[in-house]
Amino acid sequence: MSPQNTNSSNPAAVIVLAAGAGTRMKSRLPKILHPIGGISMVGHALAAAHGLNPERLAVVVRFERDQVAAHIAQLDPKALIVDQDEIPGTGRAVQAALEALDAENEIEGTVVVTYGDVPLLTTELLEELTATHQKDNNAVTVLTAVLDDATGYGRILRDATDGTVLGIREHKDASDAERGIKEINSGIYAFDAAVLREALKSVTTDNNQGEMYLTDVLGLARNDGGRVAAVATADRWQVEGANDRVQLATLGAEHNRRIVESWMRRGVTVIDPATTWIDSTVELDEDVTILPGTQLHGKTTVARDAVVGPDSTLTDVQIAERAEVTRTHGSGAVIGEGAHVGPFTYLRPGTVLGADGKIGAFYETKNVTIGRGSKLSHLGYAGDAEIGEDTNIGCGNITANYDGVNKHRTVIGSGVRTGSNTVFVAPVTVGDGAFTGAGAIVRKDVPAGALTLSVAPQRNDEGWTETHRPGSISAAAAGKSN
């Protein structure tokens, strides 16, 4: 059957194959749900497919069906979930998807088939595949890659005259001459829908594996007079799949290398790309500086002239211009313009640090709003609290927010100065301009401008060391001083 001409450059449908069990991953999590760069592998596949702007999108599932389907529905509620039946093989998976798509409205035009475990595949390469397929009026166009070592892959057999694809020879069946071919089959295709529909009727499970092979469609289409061609890419990473943890890590490292390089080309300074990890979902401005050992995850954003690192891990953290974040672990936090955080700081969700503020060394914060110019410099905890502007929280201060059953809130005003080792026993409010003395335990509200002290008389028991620790180093030192 000859392919049908269409006027649209967008494919009529994309079918994503995501039914495999992925047993080599040795995980309770389905293979295609394993993340790379903060996005599941199938999430990457769907993103590449969406870039084609197809009229329809179908995903074929089977292993851990409900879990996979729920994840896909979160990513794309409009995607058609198709269940593969007991008949194994990629040919049957595509046939099931085509039948489901046709049930709503018979597909005409180009159908692109790709996989849920090929995370580095880009929309641009799929666009090239689709454009070539339609321009040349092909029945089938296969995406291929050229590998230095093609061991184990199916080889592309081309016609020496016109370069069209004669077929695909699996490695185990190839002759010595055919094994010298470096062009391999990726398993990613553009089909004419009518050709695909008709050819699949003739694909059987009469083979050693007892599966319906999608590759059989190429020979059937060619025998029926259709043109079968290939688009070759020199970028092998785009067609690499992850079948085990080793391949997952390898693909993850390559994905990260590309992400980091992309940001550097867009004006971000990355001092050590080898130790910097940036998720696909992170956003960075020009003139951001990333120091070694930094990991940026989730929806983290970093604005112009901010410096992050070294040795910092941030997830869903918003960093404003000129802020500096040093040796910090944080999530769900907002860091204001010109603010300073770290080193050795733990930012928990709900932390909001105002412009020119500071959260310093060995500080933990949670669900706290800190006003402009306020400083929590060292050795403390602030949780379930609100702190005004230009307030200085002394060393060793904590908000005692938990009574064993409920969390309570501390409110500290603007212009407050607190002495070292102050404890705020929530719920408590400290007015603007108030002071606390060293070691104060604040159990009651403090009026604006007041000084709060927890005073106990100091008593010196002279001679105590020599009496109670005789023979010790301390006693000897005390004796020399007396």
Q: Which of 44, 50, 378, 408 is catalytic?
A: 378
Please answer whether residues 431 and 414 qualify as being in contact, where contact means their C-beta atoms are separated by less than 8 angstroms. Answer: no
Q: What is the pLDDT of residues 142-178, one digit of tens each?
A: 999 998 888 888 899 998 888 889 888 888 888 889 8
Q: Is the pLDDT of residue 60 over 50?
A: yes
The question of whether 378 is a catalytic residue gets the answer yes
Architecture of the domain defined by 13-239: Alpha-Beta Complex (3.90)
Q: With helix as H, strand as E and coil as C, how does 221-283 read?
A: HHHCCCCEEEEEECCHHHHCCCCCHHHHHHHHHHHHHHHHHHHHHCCCEECCHHHCEECCCCE
Where do the CATH 3.90.550.10 domains begin and end in the chain?
Answer: 13-239
Lowest mean pLDDT among 99-108, 170-179, 379-388: 170-179
Residue 75 vs residue 479, higher pLDDT? 75
Q: Is the pLDDT of residue 7 over 70?
A: no
- What proportion of the chain, given as a percentage, has pLDDT over 70? 98
Q: Is the pLDDT of residue 5 over 50?
A: no
The pLDDT value given to residue 280:
96
Q: Hey, which residues does 385 pair with through a beta bridge? A: 368, 410
Q: What is the pLDDT of residues 239-277, one digit of tens each?
A: 999 999 999 999 999 999 999 999 999 999 999 999 999
| Cα angle 364, 338, 414; round to 5 | 65
Please answer whether residues 427 and 445 qualify as being in contact, where contact means their C-beta atoms are separated by less than 8 angstroms. Answer: no
Residue 162 vs residue 378, higher pLDDT? 378
The rounded mean pLDDT for the chain is 94
Report domain 260-452's class. mainly beta
Where do the CATH 2.160.10.10 domains begin and end in the chain?
Answer: 260-452
Q: Which helix (H) or strand (E) holds 155?
A: strand 155-158
